[in-house]
Chains A and B, each alone.
Chain A
Amino acid sequence: MNFDVVLNNLPYLLWGAWPQGPIGGAALTVWLSLLSGVASAVIGLVLGIWLYMSRGAVHSVLILFLGFFRAIPVLMLIFWTYFLLPVVLGFSVPELTTVVCALALIGGAYLAHSVAAGLRSVGGGQWEAGISLGLGRWRVLWLIVLPQSLRRMAPSFVNQWISLIKDTSLAYVIGVPELSFVATQVNNRAMVYPAEIFLFVAFVYFVICGVLDLVATAIAGEAEPEARTRSV
């Protein structure tokens, strides 16, 4: 094992050509993760609430729509947004935006089902109580049901965000200089010690995912202590 190749290229792997050029590397991976994480949470909440509140034909169409995004590989969706976004919008769109769009849609489609399940897990009595107080359906949802179910949805959000962090590596296929892309650049330039380069890159992703997990666990606090002590 010889990690000199990693040490010599450390600034490039961590923040790309910045400050001389655009930001890249691990810093861009974090930035991509943040953007797509926030966007996927918003899309997931909106579609999840809609899924929960809608009935009949609208509900079926929504299920099909979400099913589509859950059935295709993230890579295919990146191809689609890369190709379709400029056509639909009529002007050229930066690669970064196309990746964020694709990741947010996939993440949102998965989260929508978790959000709907979380809303369903709140007992019917809460609804009846709210309605009998004279509140409208949406007021009950917003004031009573949603706050209670958000806590139950939290683990799904964290899992989805960890998945998103890993999926940002797919930006590689359209040439966004995030961590995986700069790693292959360094690897192609150095031509030696590929194991060291990719072990280091894997370690950086591991740390980013780990930090998110730690922060989430810390915020969740003792919300569900029994879930953590149960073994086997």
Chain B
Amino acid sequence: MSLAAFGLAPIYVEWLLWGFAVTLLLSASACVAATLGGVLLCAARISPLAVLHVPARIYLGVFRNTPLLVQIFFWYFAGSAIFPTPLLDWFNNPHTVVLGFGGQTWLSFRLPSFEFWAGFTALTFYTTAFIAEEFRAGLRAVPAGQREGGLSLGLSPALVFFLVVVPQAARHAFAPLLGQYMNAVKNSSLTMAIGVAELSYASRQVETETFQTFEAFGIATVLYILAVAVIEGTGELVQRRREKKYGRGALS
């Protein structure tokens, strides 16, 4: 199969596809980490204990109200002073990961560079703040009657929270969560500023190399739209299956 597209030489299309792979890897790993972080941060934020909810409020205020680009620069330039030394050594030394079976190599790749880890850290901390707030909004969307109903059945407050409130909140938070995943894909483009070779970086590189601006940016734009559309499509699919199961108009 020839990789030539829009009159762009195959080698440059390959650059863009590699960039796309880095974008997907970076945003997917940041999304996984940020979802876990979001659960913890949301739990801290709704905790009645001041030791937990005060730092959580500060975290949310700081990370939501400062630009991601500045956060990326912070982790990249100040990272060497912040990351623990063993981790830093590990980041700075190239690692080759070999996936194989029975002496056969299926896939071998160099583990990402320090830039990648700095970008990953920044994107994760930033996305965590937004995901935590979506979770909290999901919890708030559950009517108080549900909790009261559970309590009046004699369930303990903890059981009511985990058996009654959380499952409903998860359904409310699902669509906004996917929205944050889309944002993460788009936001990963900012890591080009510190030299992560993701899609925007690749498109810029191809552009300087070939002067085929329209083709370079065009392919990159289409790839971004594709990634966002796949996430959107997944949401639609889940929504439709849920309607089948619970009937139309059930919890969105």
Contacts and interface: CB of A to CB of B under 8 A. Distances in A.
Contacts of B66: 166, 202, 205-206, 209
Interface in B36-70: 46, 61-62, 65-70
B6 interface: no
Interface in A137-191: 162, 165-170, 172-173, 180, 183-184, 187
Contact of A232 (B140, B186, B192): B140
Contact of B225 (A68, A83, A173, A183): A68
B67 A205 contact: yes
Given A71-B225, A205-B65, A206-B62, A199 B74 contact: yes
A183 B187 CA distance: 20
Contacts of B187: 73
Nearest to B216: A79
Contacts of A80: 217, 221
A17 interface: no
B251 interface: no
Interface stretch (B75-83, B98-106, B240-248): B75-83
Contacts of A89: none
A103 B70 CA distance: 18
Which interface residue of B77, B82, B200 has the most chain A CB atoms within 10 A?
B77
Interface residues of B, number: 38
Contacts of A209: 65-66
B213 A232 contact: no
B220 interface: yes
Interface string A25-41: 00000000000000000
Interface in B197-227: 200, 203-204, 213-214, 217, 220-221, 224-225
What interface size band does chain A fall in? 35 or more
B222 to A, nearest CB: 10
Contacts of A7: none
B228 interface: yes
A195 interface: yes
A197 B78 CA distance: 9
A142 B220 CA distance: 41
Nearest to A196: B78
B190 interface: yes
Contacts of B217: 76, 79-80, 83
A74 interface: yes
Nearest to B226: A71
B34 interface: no
Interface string A100-135: 000000000000000000000000000000000000
B200 A198 contact: no
A194 B78 contact: yes
A169 B70 CA distance: 8
Nearest to B73: A198
A79 B204 CA distance: 9
Interface string A190-216: 000011011101100110011001000
A202 B214 CA distance: 35
Contact of B68 (A72, A166, A199): A166
B231 to A, nearest CB: 10
B229 interface: yes
Given A75-B189, A80-B217, A206-B61, 7 more contacts: A73-B186, A73-B187, A73-B200, A183-B73, A195-B78, A195-B82, A205-B65
12 contacts: A71-B224, A73-B186, A75-B200, A83-B213, A166-B68, A183-B73, A194-B78, A195-B81, A202-B71, A209-B65, A210-B65, A232-B136
8 closest Cβ contacts across the A-B interface? A194-B77, A195-B78, A169-B67, A73-B186, A198-B74, A73-B189, A166-B67, A202-B66
